[in-house]
Each structure stands twice: as C-alpha cells, then as structure tokens.
Amino acid sequence: MSHPIELVIFDCDGVLVDSERIAVRLDAVVLATLGWHLTEAEIVDRFMGRSSQSMTKEIEAHLGRSLPADWEEEFRPLYRRIFSATEVEHGKPAPDLFLHAAQQMGIAPEACAVVEDSRYGLQAARAAGMRALAYAGGMTPAHRLEGPDTVIFDDMRKLPGLLGAAASP
C-alpha cells in the first residue's frame, strides 16, 4: 500500500484509549460551556454510571433552568472521536465500523491504519482495505493475531515507527 497514512483508528478497549476518560474530559468541556465548571473527579463522582436523563436533570437543577430538548446536539461532534459498533449494521469481523469511521472522518480506507488487539478486529481492518497493526501486548497471544498484511507488535513505544514504516511505499 503506497498511500500515506492520514488516519489511525484505535480499537479502544484493551489497546490504547480509555474511552471513559475521554468522555469525562469532554463532559468537563460541555459543562463549562453551559456554565458549570467541574473537575474530572467531580464528574466521575456525580455522573459515572448514571443515565444521560439523570445527568440532564442534575445539570438543570444546578443551572436553575431547563435545557432545550435538543441541547446535546450542539455538543455531539465533540464526542465523535469515539465510534461504536452500535452505529453500523454489522460488527467485527465485518469491516463496517472501520469504514464508517473513515467515512465520517473524510479519509479513504487505503489511507487508514488500524491498531487492534483482537483477531476479529484485524480481520475487519483487512476487509476494509486498511493497514492492520496487531497489538500483542494485551490479552490475545501474538499467534492468534497473525494474518496476511498484518504487523504484530507488543510495545506501544514502537507504534510511531511502525506507522512511519507502514506509510512508506
């Protein structure tokens, strides 16, 4: 593949990103925009594990006003750093989720690299026509991640170099 890498897609759980931590940071930005400045720890204490409806009620109580029914729409793009299998018809090993993420980010599949720690995720990456980088530093043994056009690594410190090598023709 000779296209330069324009987008790196990470499987969240078990690979690199703690998606809850990202969501809490975004919640802090959203709440500050609404006029309620909370620390990440305060957000976790108040809202972690609660429904969005209960969160909205508490925000309204604190602000002393009702929020419009569509108040979250303004902030939805902030959370689009995170894509979920619930957004596509077929989950892994189908390529749908990775193709959806690339399409939403405006990047051609051949310009994407996927960092995955499961064989099904790697199958999905290859089926999407994306570069497959298999992280073997987690729960899945390296031999279960092997496959065509797949680079296996077990140390995240190697990832920048691997991405550079994957981008070379």
* Buried residues in 124-140 as b, exposed as e (16+ CB within 10 A): bbbbbbbbbbbbbebeb
Does residue 79 have a pLDDT over 80?
no
Please provide the average confidence, as pLDDT, over all residues in the chain. Answer: 87
Model pLDDT for residues 28-43, shown as the tens digit of each residue: 999 999 999 999 889 9
The architecture (CATH level 2) of 19-81 comes to Orthogonal Bundle (1.10)
Tell me the pLDDT tens digit for each residue of 102-161: 999 999 999 999 999 889 999 999 999 999 999 998 778 899 999 999 999 999 899 999
Say if pTM beats, i.e. exceeds, 0.85: no
C-alpha separations of 139 from 87, 158, 168 in Å: 26, 18, 30
pLDDT, one tens digit per residue, over 86-100 is 788 998 999 999 999
- Residue 61 pLDDT more than 50? yes
- Domain ranges in the chain with CATH number 3.40.50.1000: 7-17+83-167
Long-range contacts of 2-7 (CB under 8 A, 24+ apart): 2/169, 3/108, 3/110, 3/111, 4/111, 4/167, 5/111, 5/112, 5/113, 5/131, 5/163, 5/166, 5/167, 6/107, 6/108, 6/111, 6/112, 7/101, 7/102, 7/105, 7/107, 7/111, 7/112, 7/113
CATH of 7-17+83-167, one of 3.40.50.720, 3.30.1330.40, 3.40.605.10, 3.40.50.1000: 3.40.50.1000
Residues of the chain with CATH 1.10.150: 19-81
